[in-house]
Each structure stands twice: as structure tokens, then as C-alpha cells.
Structure 1
Amino acid sequence: MGQRIPPGSRRELGLINWGIARLGARSIRAPQMNLFTVLGQHKLLFLSFLPYSGVLLNWGKLPKRDKELVILRVGHLRGSEYELQQHRRLARTRGLDSAVQDKIFAGPTAQGLTDRQRVLLTAVDEFILNRDLSDDTFADLTTHLTRQQVIEFCALAGHYDAIAAILATLRVPMDFPD
């Protein structure tokens, strides 16, 4: 399946979005960051997307390790090779090695997960597949997360679910050949 909206050039992105896309590519050591060169063609949307995405990915109340667990599970559930390619790399730098990542992909019943990891994975599965959390899962989640972290968990899972849908629908090409 071909790209529905091909990555944009400097002309389509404008100078600011093109510069941001170049910096993004450099930060991940890729020739191009295709998510940015596609989304960047909608200038205002892209400029509003960046701060929200940045908070969810790099700041906020959830530990970065938890963020990556959530993102990897969403990417797996949605079959988003682009998200998985990006975040398998990033997750390794945030303490989730290949063995832990394999457990994340196996799901909440995988052997060797911590209680926190198991609860987070169960919550991701319910949130993504049911668009809700059962009362039991919500209660379990609140034993591990603060109120602000629960809110952020929902925003993070929903955001990466939306990104997976955008990537799939627009057929955004991978950034790395592997």
C-alpha cells in the first residue's frame, strides 16, 4: 500500500515545521522523521501537536519507563510498526530491555512482570480494546498511580492510539530501513 500523503518537503512544511522535522530526525538519528513531515503539512495542527506530545512523552507525572510500557503496548495492540520501531529504541534507553519488551508484547499474563507492569498492561488493554476500564482495573491502577498519573495514563494511551490510527490511515513510511 502506497503513501496516501507523502512526506512533505520544505515547501509543503514551511520553514518552521521543516526545521522542527529536521531536528526531530536528527534527535532519532534518522534521515527523516516521517510522522513530522506528514503532520507538519498542517501547520497549525502540527504546532499544537508538538507541545502536547512533548509533555506526554518527556515530562508529566508518569515515569518514562511507564510511558514507554504504555506506548509499546498500544503500538503492539494496534499493529503500528512505526510506533514500535520508534519506541523499541527509546524504551531501551529508558530501562526496558528486549526481554522486558517481549513480556510487554506477550501481555499482562507474561511471567516475570512486576505487579505495577501487570496492572499497567491490563489497563492499556482495556482502555484500547474497550475504550474504558473496569472498576477492578481502575482500582488496581489507583494503587500504583496518583490521580494525576491516572489522568496522564488515559491521555497517553489515547494519544498513541490516535497516532497509530493516523500513521495507518495516511500510510506514513517508516523512518528506519529495519
Structure 2
Amino acid sequence: MGPLPVSEWTEEDRELLRGNLPRADRYLSGEADAPPMPAILGLFARHSRVGAPWLAFSGTLLDDGALDPRDRELLILRVGHRTGCRYQWAQHVGMAQAAGLTLEQIAAVAAGCVADGADAAGTAGVWTDRDRDLLRAADQLVDNHVIDDATWARLAAHLDERQLLELTFVVGSYVCLAMVLNSVGLEPAALPDPDDAKDSRAVPDAAPIP
């Protein structure tokens, strides 16, 4: 299932998406210099009554959330890797760099599991203890749908109650989004090589949506 062409959007689609994502105006302006429409907006236009509120929710996580942006993007990249969501990975690589993750760290996100307390081969020294616990939390939520008591307790030393709650919302919502994107086969126009985690270039479609 591909994006709905803008020419087929109803007025309701336009109003719903504009109302829940203010930056949508720049894509719908009709101006000659308007940026290309992100594929995910076109996909959500196929069911704008669900897609538009989703954009509002994800926009809150991205723009008004309590988590540090670096922590948030680390979690999202881990979800993108664990769920095999190529679109999600490509969409957030540039955002992760902007939030402070290095190319080495972005590559290490896809290098393996840290749940056993050891770094994956070739990633020694890349992560802080806090980073490892964030990655563990993401892995545990993906695998078991719960963060274990030990990981939760360690995270609670660094995060307040709002941030802890938001962590579960971020991982859960991006797992849900990955299910949608993987099922419809949505991919960005320019895609980093999925077999090369170090190919973490930002892509033209990598606007913060969502």
C-alpha cells in the first residue's frame, strides 16, 4: 500500500492532517519550492481520522516530551532495528545525529543485544551504563512487553516518573508504527543500506514525521 497522491486527498484529509501537524502546511502549500511530501503523510491520508491523531501524539513525543532527545532517538533507533523497520531507521538516523548520537553509536545500535550485560563485539566503550539500560529497556519491551525490576530501578536513578512513563510510550508507539510500516511496505525515497549499520546518512525524507 503506497501513499495517497495529494491530488486524491479530500478536504477533510487536508484539514485533519493540518490540524494535527502544523508543519504539514509547508508540504501542502502548492508553492514551487515546497518540499516533497513525506511518504508517511501520504500513507496516513488514506485513513486521516486515525493518521492525524497519531501525528499529534507522536508530535508531542518529539516536540514536547520529557525525555532527553538523545535518549528518545536511541530508543526509536533500537525499535527500528529490532523490528526490521527500514523506513523508521532511515527516518530517524538524521534526527539521532542532531540529538547527539555519534555515527559509531548509531552503528552500534544495530550491532547486537546488551541484555546480558556485555557489549556486542566491536562496541566496547561506545555506551554509558545509562545507555545500556535504555537499550535493555527497549529490548525487554520488544521481547517481553515489560521492563524488568532491575532495569527499571537503575533507570529510576536517572529518569523521573514522567520520563519513565514516556519511555514506555515511545517504545510501544514506535513498535506499533513499525507494524504498520512493515505491513504496507512503506520505504523512504532514499534508503541507507540495511546491511551496513554505518551507512547512517540522513535521507531527504527524514523530516520529523513522526
For 1:57 and 1:157, how far apart are their aligned partners in 2? Answer: 13
Q: Which piece of structure 1 moves more, 108-117 or 59-68?
A: 108-117
Query: Residue 79 of structure 2 aligns with which residue?
Result: 74
**Number of the residue aligned with 1:120:** 134
Q: 1:13 deviation in Å?
A: 2.8
Residues 63/12 of structure 1: CA separation in 2 closer, same or farther (3 Å cut): same
Q: Structure 2: how far apart are the matches of 1:175 and 1:146?
A: 38
- Aligned with 1:173 (options 178, 187, 192): 187
Please list, as runs of the form range in 1=range in 2, the aligned pairs for 1:97-136 lying within 5 A after superposition. 97-106=102-111, 107-108=113-114, 109=119, 110-112=123-125, 113-136=127-150
1:131 partner amino acid? H
Q: The residue matched to 2:124 in structure 1 has which SS?
A: coil
| Aligned pairs for 1:85-104 within 5 A | 85-104=90-109
Instruction: Give the Å deviation of 1:30.
Output: 6.4
Percent identical pairs in the alignment equals 30
- What are the ranges of 5 or more consecutive residues in structure 2 without an aligned counterpart? 193-210
> Separation in 2 of the partners of 1:125 and 1:72?
11
Judging changes above 3 Å, is the alpha-carbon distance between structure 1 residues 53 and 168 closer, same or farther for their aligned structure 2 residues? Answer: same
In 1: Cα distance, 2:102 partner to 2:28 partner: 23
Residues 109-154 of structure 1 deviation map (CA, whole Å, 9 limit, x = unaligned): 2422111101100110001111111111111221121111010000
User: What's the TM-score once normalised by structure 1's chain length?
Assistant: 0.86
Instruction: Say whether 1:8 aligns with 2:22.
Output: no
Q: Which has the higher helix share?
A: 1
Matched positions, count: 172
- 1:177 deviation in Å? 4.9
Cα deviation, residue 41, structure 1: 1.6
CA distance in 2, matches of 1:135, 1:23: 45
For residues 20 and 93 of structure 1, do their structure 2 counterparts lie closer, same or farther at Cα, with a shift above 3 Å needed? closer
Cα distance between partner residues in 1 of 2:47 and 2:88: 21
Q: Normalising to structure 2: TM-score of the pair?
A: 0.74
Please state whether the residue corresponding to 1:40 is helix, strand or coil. Answer: helix
Structure 2 counterpart of 1:141, from 152, 155, 163: 155
Relative to structure 2, which stretch is displaced further, 110-119 or 99-108? 99-108
Segments of structure 1 that go 5 or more residues without pairing to the other structure are none
**Does the 8 Å CA contact 1:25/1:33 hold for their aligned counterparts?**
no
Separation in 2 of the partners of 1:25 and 1:167? 22
Could you tell me how far apart the structure 2 residues matched to 1:25 and 1:98 are?
33
Q: Partner residue of 2:199?
A: none
